[in-house]
Amino acid sequence: MVHSTAERESVDRIAHLTSIAIDRRAVDDRLRHQALHDSLTGLPNRQQLLSRVSAMSDGEGGAVDGDDAGAEDPATGGPPAAASP
């Protein structure tokens, strides 16, 4: 199958633009990681901690405190019953 020069140029342009988009995504991911992690240890930094705590307190990530967060009563499938005094 013979391809015209115009078709070949179009394919080359698409490949080039795709390459640019992939490189840009990699740079964005690297910058996001650098912004949210300590450069020496690689551990999450304060900004990421505050972001996660905020998301959790807004109900996006579950309970912020409590030892039985996410626990359920196997008999009812609901929250665990309160302990008797």
Span 23-79, pLDDT tens digits: 999 999 999 999 889 989 888 898 888 888 999 988 765 554 444 445 565 566 665
Q: Specify the DSSP class assigned to residue 80.
A: P
Can you give the pLDDT at residue 49?
A: 86
Kindly state the tokens that stand for 5: 């020069």
Q: Specify the DSSP class assigned to residue 76.
A: T
Q: Strands, DSSP E only, in 1-85?
A: none
Give the C-alpha distances (Å, rounded to integers) separating 46 from 33, 61, 65: 13, 18, 18
Can you give the pLDDT at residue 3?
A: 77
Can you give the pLDDT at residue 27?
A: 97
Ordered by start, the domain boundaries in the chain are 5-57
With residue 48 as reference, give the H or E element that holds it: helix 46-57
Q: Specify the DSSP class assigned to residue 26.
A: H
